[in-house]
Amino acid sequence: METATGLDFSIAICTYNGEHRLPDVLNALLQQSQIDNLRWEVIVVDNNSQDGTAQAVSYTHL
């Protein structure tokens, strides 16, 4: 089903100090099967983390 954004679905991840968790989570999303024909996005909401959360997300290529 086409939406106003052209996306089939969105995944929102809220995190605080997720530097060590997020790369695994994001890589697991990339390995999902049967999504090649879908348009989707990942939105990471960083709640003022004090670690390297922002850098960890920026280094993961989605």
pLDDT reading at 62 higher than 70:
no
Give the phi and the psi of residue 12 in degrees, each rounded to 5.
-110, 130
Residue 2: pLDDT over 80: no
- pTM for this prediction: 0.79
Q: What is the DSSP letter of 43?
A: E
pLDDT digits (tens, 9 = 90+) for 7-57: 999 999 999 999 999 999 999 998 998 888 999 999 999 999 999 999 999
Exposed, middle or buried by CB within 10 Å (0-12, 13-18, 19+), for 53? buried
